[in-house]
Amino acid sequence: MKVSIKYIALFSIVLLVSCKEKKKEEKSKGNCLSDTLGKMIMTSVVHKELVYDQLKLSGLVNVNDAKMIKVFPLVGGQVQTVLVELGDYVKKGQILAVLKSAEAAEIQKDIIGDSSRVETTAKNLQVAKDMYNSGLLSEKDFIQAKNDYKRAIAEYDRSVEIYDIYSLGKNSKYIIRSPMDGFIVTKDVNPGMELRSDNQSNIFTISNLSDVWVLANVYESDIPKIKVDYPVTIQTVAYPDQVFSGKIDKVYNVIDPDSKVLKVRIALQNPGLLLKPGMFATILVKHISDQKMISVPSEGVIFDNNKNWLMVYKSPCEIETREVDVHSVIDNRAYINEGVIEGEKVITKYQLLVYNAFN
């Protein structure tokens, strides 16, 4: 009986130890990545790099002044017809509007009179030449006849040139034509309007929208963060999921006295003519600072319980959930104040699955 009790006690001890070892082994396996998840994850080495800074600005899409022409009336008159509307695409030489003009009529009258004088002086010159060859006219009078003809030709040529410059039509009409291919971006004329030749306001603005300008507002405190050639990305309300890329090509040197902002200009290509003058734009300006900080891919950062976390990887069974202090996130990089050190590895793909499994 005593022997049986001894063996039972020994068996119980062995069984207890075996159970503890089994539980320990199960616990150890529970803190290791499964083979499947281990093949899925990706890691990135923590390193220091120069910090990208980012400044957010607001602005408006504008026409490119270098590819824009303002159209003014060269003569006064009453507008008879307007053949285009705001936003229309026009070709060079296309008729935009037609005026009935007294000035145009006067120019046409000058052409007719100058043409008549050319004919008259030409006939007089031929008569003078015949008389001079016959000895019936002095050389002085013959030279005078030639000069009269030359002056008549010069006056006629001048009138024709004015006629062509003003693009005049028949019956006292002044025809306004497009000076370039482009879009009508402003229109300030309607049938029946009276226009003066000394009008200081243009009646049409035509622009080629293949590239545009974005004028952004910069407050005084942010002026040191802005320089020519800094790259920018731009988003608009109309296309919230589309990013347009460009660079700052001019920083104006005068602060607007009303808004107290400095203007910067960004040149943008406009494929598909998506960007329209007057659109509101949000501009992100990027530049490299002189500061170096710990950097990791931003997709590796996990936000939970109002804190930021990284999964620090050493081996499949050595993975640590580490709280980190994120300084900033620019594009796909997260800059870290503290929490990880250079040379450590962090999980950057399927990190959320690992976080849930280990926590």
> Can you give the pLDDT at residue 5?
53
Both tokens of residue 40?
């899925």
> Can you give the pLDDT at residue 108?
76
> Can you give the pLDDT at residue 23?
42
Give alpha helix (H) positions in 32-101. 35-40
* Spatial distance between the Cα atoms of 136 and 210, rounded to a whole number of angstroms: 71
Using the predicted structure, report yes or no on whether residue 19 has a pLDDT greater than 50: no
> Can you give the pLDDT at residue 309?
95
Q: Which residues pair with 307 in a beta bridge?
A: 304
In this prediction, residue 325 has a pLDDT band, given cuts at 50, 70 and 90, of: very high
Q: Which helix (H) or strand (E) holds 10?
A: helix 2-30
Chain centroid to CA 219: how far?
20
Write the DSSP symbol of residue 273: G
What domains appear along the chain, each with residue ranges and CATH number? Answer: 33-51+292-358 (2.40.420.20), 55-65+208-290 (2.40.30.170), 71-96+178-207 (2.40.50.100), 102-171 (1.10.287.470)
Using the predicted structure, report yes or no on whether residue 15 has a pLDDT greater than 70: no
More confident residue, 3 or 28: 3
Both tokens of residue 76?
């006064």
Which among 48, 47, 49, 45 has a CA at the least distance from the CA of 313?
A: 45
Whether residue 250 contacts residue 265, with contact meaning beta carbons closer than 8 Å, is answered with: yes
Write the DSSP symbol of residue 92: T
Average pLDDT over residues 99-107: 80
Whether residue 263 contacts residue 252, with contact meaning beta carbons closer than 8 Å, is answered with: yes
Using the predicted structure, report yes or no on whether residue 143 has a pLDDT greater than 70: yes
Kindly report, residue by residue over 199-234, the tens digit of the pLDDT.
778 999 999 898 999 999 999 989 988 899 999 999
What are φ and ψ of residue 38, in 5° steps?
Answer: -60, -30
Place of tokens 């999980």: 347
> Can you give the pLDDT at residue 74?
82
Kindly report, residue by residue over 265-310, the tens digit of the pLDDT.
999 989 888 999 999 999 999 877 778 899 999 999 999 999 999 9
Contacts of 133-136 with CB under 8 Å at 24 or more apart are: none
Listing DSSP states for 194-245 in one string gives EE-TT--S-SEEEE-TTEEEEEEEEEGGGGGG--TT-EEEEEESS-TT--EE
Angle at 34 between CA 28 and CA 39, to 5 degrees: 140
> Can you give the pLDDT at residue 224?
87
Using the predicted structure, report yes or no on whether residue 262 has a pLDDT greater than 70: yes
Whether residue 232 contacts residue 247, with contact meaning beta carbons closer than 8 Å, is answered with: yes
> Can you give the pLDDT at residue 29?
42
Exposed (0-12), middle (13-18) or buried (19+): which is 349, by Cβ within 10 Å? Answer: middle
> Can you give the pLDDT at residue 107?
77
Q: Which residues pair with 304 in a beta bridge?
A: 307
Pairing of β 345-349 and β 42-45: antiparallel
Choice among 89-93, 100-104, 139-143, 236-240 with the minimum mean pLDDT:
100-104
- What is the dihedral sign for C-alpha 11, 17, 21, 27? positive
Q: Which of 51-55, 141-145, 289-293 has the highest mean pLDDT?
A: 141-145
* Spatial distance between the Cα atoms of 283 and 230, rounded to a whole number of angstroms: 12
